[in-house]
Structure 1
């Protein structure tokens, strides 16, 4: 299994603050920094045990053509035998990513980590809002099963949407890592960095107290047996970060997701 990194520098569908378009470059810098190394917690290493390639950033222009560019890049990765890890950008990008993979593999199962369920029918008049990608995914039939955890902002509308689409939501008020189910393959993983407690990931636009620690999140992630068909890391806003610690976390997650792909191919 090869892993292909795809940068998606866009934040045109953000609803509060912009800045996530600068994330891919900052995450790459953290990934390449001499402060750490290329090993995941499983011991598998990027470039040694895991074939790893960087496709660079897509030339996104904040226009109507951006979703098509994203779909094409993800489809190209999958068709070439590479597992795409996409670096947002705001959470809008997950919609076209999943659409591309579902077109190739059929409806996916999704494990989604976030403070927010992102199920709005449309948010502030924008059906492609970063608060709406999973509504678009579910209504299009691109997912058979959607499991969400880290959620702690579930309002009435999103509860109704979750019931409408049959979404399995594990709210933080009842959170225990071992109780989060891991959907069966084909599995896609979407990680919104504001899912973490802001103490561990301050570099996000929407600070939401009461989230899990990095270790609690990894207790869930490392239970994934593999294979996975793709993943994204979204909503990093470098302008809000403190000493680059959120970028370092995002870089660590790239390594852990890549290791899952390798684990699933053995």
Structure 2
């Protein structure tokens, strides 16, 4: 079974409203290793016991987006050279672009499951084409997405609706949501989880809370039904300064365990 490599991407230079997500990886890691919980996943296997798992710590990012993108791509390439699967903690959602770019360099266009309140398809946002509101526009423009399925969306404005049509994004909105509406994707599969995709009652620690989101149980149902080999994943947009009682960090740690168990269960794809 594949080994999993966790690493943090402590940057929020491309955040559009309020910075704070750069502190997210360290805060999630505290809860991951805390004696408050344990390493068990709901799928059964335990992190570090049944699942080979290494934590590389945080990359030394610089707030120069071009340099940071290159550093992220290099790190993913090193992880892949070791035959392991990258699992990244953001940071803002802009980091998903170089993560997907590096995975696509190994596997070709990916099937992407994107959990979010927002589609992140802006052509640019505030004059910044690398905004955290734009990563999936950049991914699709570059041809890195064979299929993009976006789940939890509840802020779809006219521009992003037009962008979704342009790129062929498949949006599963929250209005009338049922987990069965989410398709089971083929591999190679990449999973990106923006924590604001979850309802703010369960995940208040985000810069852009949007009422009416996924429950934790709905999210786990969507994840656990995926059966394809996973070639990378990220958890992004945790803002510790807006959290309440560390509940969002605790959720982030749980999602690390659940994604690791899912990667382990679904098996390995050679790149």
Normalised by the length of structure 1, the TM-score is 0.99
Q: Per the alignment, in what secondary structure is the counterpart of residue 192 of structure 2?
A: strand
| Corresponding residue for residue 61 of structure 1 | 62
Match of 2:111 among 109, 124, 143: 109
| Corresponding residue for residue 18 of structure 1 | 19
Mapping for residues 220-259 of structure 1, pairs under 5 Å? 220-259=222-261
Mapping for residues 1-266 of structure 1, pairs under 5 Å? 1-63=2-64, 64-265=66-267
Q: CA deviation at 1:179?
A: 1.3
- Do the aligned residues in 1 keep the contact of 2:230 with 2:267 (CA within 8 Å)? no
Q: For residues 46-105 of structure 1, what are the alpha-carbon distances to aligned partners after superposition, in whole Å with 9 as ceiling and x for unaligned?
A: 111100001111110101301100111111111211111000000000000000010111
Q: Per the alignment, in what secondary structure is the counterpart of residue 175 of structure 2?
A: helix
Q: For residues 156-186 of structure 1, what are the alpha-carbon distances to aligned partners after superposition, in whole Å with 9 as ceiling and x for unaligned?
A: 0000000000000011002101111121000
Deviating beyond 2 angstroms after TM superposition, the runs of 4 or more aligned structure 1 residues are none
- Do the aligned residues in 2 keep the contact of 1:226 with 1:263 (CA within 8 Å)? no
Normalised by the length of structure 2, the TM-score is 0.97
In 2, the alpha carbon distance for the partners of 1:36 and 1:227 equals 28
Q: CA deviation at 1:25?
A: 0.6
Q: Per the alignment, in what secondary structure is the counterpart of residue 109 of structure 1?
A: strand
Aligned residues, how many?
266
Structure 2: gaps (5+ residues)? none
Q: For residues 218-264 of structure 1, what are the alpha-carbon distances to aligned partners after superposition, in whole Å with 9 as ceiling and x for unaligned?
A: 11111011421110000000000000000000000000000011102
In 2, the alpha carbon distance for the partners of 1:48 and 1:178 equals 32
